[in-house]
Amino acid sequence: MTDFFQFEADFVDSLRCIPMQVRCKLDTCGIKLKLPDWNQMTTDERQALVELPCTTETEIQSYREHIEQLIIQRTGVPAKKLPIEPHPAWLDSATVPASLQEKAQEIGVTLTQQNWATLTPLQRFALIKLSQPGHENKNFPRAIAEFHLV
């Protein structure tokens, strides 16, 4: 899974920001990665984090161990752990999260369950992340448009 979204186009060539597919893997394996720590990694290390699989239990464990080692090597500080959601909302194609629905309505969009079900898990993850309070939300309308939800 090395596809990038169009709304990420301004930084994916250099990987200067953490792409959604890596953010999803981080949430899946329960590791917090700050942008300054990401930027201490080499381009090859960042590219490997994009390309490494993180779906099965074995892959998730391997990804977690790999990123933990990288963070220690680059920062000298152990990685911060995140709680792993046992049933992440992005994997539930039947239910549009209420907070996401509210954020969409702020820009005049109503997300139906049918719309939600047609999205890939990564698209759903991106919308959830982009709709969170405190997140830079300029890409939320771009993602809504890119995913043909308008």
- pLDDT per residue as tens digits for the range 3-19: 799 999 888 888 999 99
- Number of residues that this document lists for the chain: 150
What digits encode the pLDDT tens for the residues 29-58?
999 999 999 999 999 999 999 999 999 999
| Residue appearing with tokens 């079900």 | 117
Cα separation, 21 vs 23, in Å, equals: 5
What digits encode the pLDDT tens for the residues 58-102?
999 999 999 999 999 999 999 999 999 999 999 999 999 999 999
Q: Taking 60 as the threshold, does the pLDDT of residue 1 lie above it?
A: no
User: Where in the chain are the domains?
Assistant: 6-81, 89-146
Cα separation, 24 vs 129, in Å, equals: 9
